[in-house]
Chains A and B, each alone.
Chain A
């Protein structure tokens, strides 16, 4: 709050005999709780509008007509109010309401996942009657009703506080859950009994004050008193929502939101909340593998590290390149940079294995925005970024801002989660033009803000920079900003130093000479590899086959490269080409820091040991350096202090954004293929996470309903998409958020990046194998 804001008008209230003053408009329930008087409530929630549905927050208020019992959640404080929170009248009113709430509530507490942390249990113990006078049989309703992939509803336990219904309506604007029926027949359900389809269902399990809405993944896993909490940070996307990891023994059983107003606002998306299955996934790599006689065979760590040393020595003459690092911790990314430059003596280093070109707004000459700037902005420009799929929780904040601020949504796809926004539909190659068209409006706005995921060419980057507004870069990799600051770029040293400062960095790293000629960027590295001009490639937590926009090039590069080392959690399709595979530890298994899209550095905690044979990336770098005769700091803390001592450049250098990937031909007939981030489509951890399998499903091809109608396609139908370079099978999903004339695959969907720009759809046969019937009228000539 700024100092210039007028002081809020205070209202004098007497609570239980003591005088207090509260800002005008404060709800009684907040006032009473602030001064330390407990009041029970179910329907009230700080983030939702008051409803007055549960009637349990009663307090007694003096009025000219004598004492009145009022619901404190719907009554704002008034001048001279006299409130009794524990008068006989108020206590009796609560006792009666609780007795009513319990009439049809089943005595499920021993088998209920909420038992032990249930508000109904707690408040009944504190305020309720000891016995029920209700002798009649209870009403029975649906138990264990699967609402969706993650959510289970027990309609008997529901006390109809409507927190979930209001959350859906007010926070998501999706209305996935509604009330049906009336009286004692009222139940919560989806509108027509269809499965819950949204990215934020899990928040309902935390909102629900009783055991009605529970998580599928946590079902019967533990009781609250078994759980040990560890504060950590989600590494699912670049927002870095704060979480509490709860373990039973060594097993992670659930994640809860840990509110950080500056980052997440207390919400989690389902990907973040349920995406902890990688920790115990069967598919995890558990031993290093080395290629012998054409086969990858499991081996010891010493042998594997030695194989890497031999391979690098043998093929290093023709150049060594390193790709990846944007999924590591800050410390690991920094150490990877030091390993590459100081030990491998190469500047061919790039974290940008996807479409994202930069991570920090400063890197293209913009000001960095904070996440909370969204709340104050009056004009928000979203540049071709599917926020709801890329950084879902940020979309909720944008949605809240949309009620107040103007939002301009540019690009070929509409941000449905953001809600009310002004659309500027345009093709990817026209984005820069559209952005330039907003220059005057942005200049006139008091607090403009730009949201762009950084996937685009130099022209677009210049156009965005020219707007002069603070920028948020919700990119596709969780720790892209940390990797960039750690210098995982061909022409930047740690702390955004230019190559001219190599001497200073070299001194901090023990004095060895560093290569000073800027290295090659990801595309150039892959091109060199495909040409045969590169000796060895080291992929660290990256898979260009799935993520690199030109998948054909990536495939040729991995086919041709003489020596390939892959360091990952799973046997990705890149690992199949590898000469050495090093199993690494992943999220929840390492301690360190990650930097979110707004530059907030947050600590992540190791909460699970990970597979016995896997090692942390940091340990692997240290071992590798050791085999090559160099010593690196061996703990995350030591690395962090070295990085901190090195600091940032006084005048940060800029990232080169030149590569042109997204621009294509301007005149196209037929449907145009976009590769867009989709929450569960990724080929990385999402592909291997057993918790997420249920929502991942088949590769989906999204298409506007008018195009689908014109082509005679139905939702759920299987098609073969034939591109210039490849073809793949996918299921049709109608999505009117997409502009007509486009079809979209999820980014990182294996194969989607090898299709080229234009696609032809062919109906898939019965088993999805035959592909003989071309969809008629592919010439939807729209442009």
Chain B
């Protein structure tokens, strides 16, 4: 390093109290970071995060396997196949249910078109955004992963616990 003029060396020293001053200034301010993941920052009301497949209150799945989400998806990340409901224990109201429902979350652009296309409000984007996994396979999610818990079995389980 070449020698510097004396004046500029003094100017450099001036930076130290300035920096400490900034530290002191923020020491008494409110913190902006949170202890993620123990605590999470609220997201905007219309934030579009990870998907769920919703159920009705009686536990039946909302998805009827109409594939409109698949058709609407600009990233082609949804695959739906439908099947006939077994008459004795149907998965959804009516004749038809989505027996295969897969989303490739790595391709998904979280545009929410699927949610808009859905005639029954089955596919919904939640505020959850913790999209993590150890392999690409982890991001290929299926119907079981997407479905919200069945309120019927949940209630039963809670009652059993009591």
Contact = CB atoms under 8 A, between A and B. Distances in A.
A contacts B: CB pair < 8 Å: yes
Contact of B83 (A110, A115, A220, A223): A220
A115 B71 contact: no
Contact of B95 (A109, A111, A115, A221): A111
Contacts of A110: 64, 66, 68, 119-120
B54 interface: no
A143 B66 CA distance: 18
B79 to A, nearest CB: 10
A223 B95 contact: no
B84 A219 contact: yes
B65 A111 contact: yes
A724 interface: no
Interface residues of A, number: 12
A340 to B, nearest CB: 46
A110 B64 CA distance: 8
Contact of A220 (B68, B71, B84, B120): B84
Interface string A108-147: 0111000100000000000000000000000000011000
A70 B68 CA distance: 38
Interface in B22-69: 64-68
Nearest to A223: B67
B146 interface: no
Interface in A193-229: 219-221, 223, 225-226
Interface string B85-121: 0000000001110000000000000000000000110
Contacts of A221: 82
Interface size on B, as a range, is 10 to 19
Contacts of A220: 65, 82-84, 95-96
B92 to A, nearest CB: 9
Nearest to B71: A225
A115 B84 contact: no
A223 B64 CA distance: 13
B67 A143 contact: no
Interface in A34-59: none
A129 B84 CA distance: 32
Q: Is the interface of A mostly helix, strand, loop or mixed?
A: loop
A115 B66 CA distance: 9
Nearest to A111: B96
Nearest to B82: A220
A223 B84 contact: no
Contacts of B120: 110
Interface string A461-494: 0000000000000000000000000000000000
A111 B94 contact: yes
A637 to B, nearest CB: 34
Contacts of A225: 67, 71
Nearest to B119: A110
B22 to A, nearest CB: 59
Interface in A441-459: none
Interface in A85-110: 109-110
Contacts of B94: 111
Contact of B67 (A144, A219, A226): A226
A143 B84 CA distance: 13
A111 to B, nearest CB: 4
Contacts of A111: 64-66, 82, 94-96
Contact of B66 (A144, A219, A223): A223
Nearest to A110: B66
A143, A219, A220: most-surrounded residue (chain B CB, <10 A): A220
A532 B94 CA distance: 65
A219 B99 CA distance: 14
Contacts of A223: 66-67, 71
Contacts of B119: 109-110
Nearest to A154: B95
Nearest to A248: B81
Nearest to B68: A110
B123 to A, nearest CB: 12
Interface string A217-246: 001110101100000000000000000000
A44 to B, nearest CB: 30
A761 B71 CA distance: 60
A627 to B, nearest CB: 43
Interface in B113-154: 119-120
Interface string A540-562: 00000000000000000000000
Contacts of A143: 95
A106 to B, nearest CB: 10
B5 to A, nearest CB: 75
Contacts of B67: 223, 225-226
A339 B94 CA distance: 58
A105 to B, nearest CB: 15
Nearest to B120: A110
Contacts of B65: 111, 220
Contacts of A219: 84
B125 to A, nearest CB: 19
A144 to B, nearest CB: 6
Contacts of A109: 66, 119
B78 to A, nearest CB: 12
Nearest to B94: A111
A37 B114 CA distance: 36
Contacts of A226: 67
Interface string B65-77: 1111001000000
B69 to A, nearest CB: 11
A109 B67 CA distance: 11
Contacts of B96: 111, 220
A219 B95 CA distance: 10
A226 B67 CA distance: 9
A226 B79 CA distance: 11
Contacts of B66: 109-111, 115, 223
Nearest to B80: A223
A67 B146 CA distance: 59
A226 B83 CA distance: 15
B71 A144 contact: no
Nearest to B92: A111
Interface string B3-27: 0000000000000000000000000
Contacts of A144: 95
Contacts of B64: 110-111
A172 B83 CA distance: 33
A115 B71 CA distance: 13
B122 to A, nearest CB: 10
A219 B83 CA distance: 8
A639 B21 CA distance: 89
Contacts of B82: 111, 220-221
A594 to B, nearest CB: 33
Interface in A160-217: none
B59 to A, nearest CB: 19
A110, A144, A226: most-surrounded residue (chain B CB, <10 A): A110
Contacts of B83: 220
Nearest to B66: A110
A152 B82 CA distance: 17
A225 B64 CA distance: 17
A221 B71 CA distance: 15
A226 to B, nearest CB: 7
11 contacts: A109-B119, A110-B119, A110-B120, A111-B64, A111-B65, A111-B95, A115-B66, A220-B84, A221-B82, A223-B71, A226-B67
Give 4 nearest A-B pairs by CB, closest first: A110-B66, A111-B96, A220-B82, A110-B119
Given A110-B66, A223-B71, 5 more contacts: A111-B95, A144-B95, A223-B66, A225-B71, A226-B67
Interface of B: 64-68, 71, 82-84, 94-96, 119-120
